Amino acid sequence: MTPPELRLWSALRARPAGFKFRRQHPVGPYVLDFYCREAALAVEVDGIVHDMGSNPAGDARRDKWLAERGIMTLRILAADVLDLDAVVRLITAECRSRAPSRQ
């Protein structure tokens, strides 16, 4: 895991707003940085490498593949993880909007 992923994991493993996250969760041919099953939400921390070469197209294919299976991908820039509280609020808000048992 990268330093931004480790930083975010330190917050997500505490189950913010009661949502459980798994890290390095396999789904089909992919491994998700973080995954909340209750909300069917994948959280990906993107560093600068995601903007290089064929990576943007690969990310788009991956996001589409996941979406076809009901999993939404929330992409967070690695630099944004510096404001950890704001990122966790964003993630939990998305979880609340997607979790059927919480609506």
- Please report the sign of the dihedral spanned by the C-alpha atoms of residue 9, residue 103, residue 76, residue 60: positive
Query: Tens digit of pLDDT for each residue in 1-36?
Result: 899 999 999 999 999 999 999 999 999 999 999 999
In a domain, 19, yes or no: yes
DSSP assignment of the chain, as one string? --HHHHHHHHHHTT-GGG---EEEEEETTEEEEEEETTTTEEEEEE-GGGGSTTHHHHHHHHHHHHHTTT-EEEEEEGGGGGSHHHHHHHHHHHHHHH-GGG-
In a domain, 35, yes or no: yes
Full residue range of the structural domain in which residue 9 is found: 3-95
In a domain, 57, yes or no: yes
In a domain, 101, yes or no: no
pLDDT-derived band at 46 (thresholds 50, 70, 90) equals confident
CATH code of 18's domain = 3.40.960.10
- pLDDT, residue 93, reads 96
Q: 42 phi and psi, to 5 degrees? A: -100, 135
Query: Tens digit of pLDDT for each residue in 49-59?
Result: 655 455 678 88
Strand extents, DSSP E, the chain: 22-27, 30-36, 41-46, 72-77
Domain count along the chain: 1
Query: Tens digit of pLDDT for each residue in 69-89?
Result: 999 999 999 999 999 999 999
In a domain, 103, yes or no: no
In a domain, 64, yes or no: yes
- pLDDT, residue 102, reads 60
Residue showing tokens 């009661």: 18
In a domain, 55, yes or no: yes
- pLDDT, residue 85, reads 97
In a domain, 100, yes or no: no
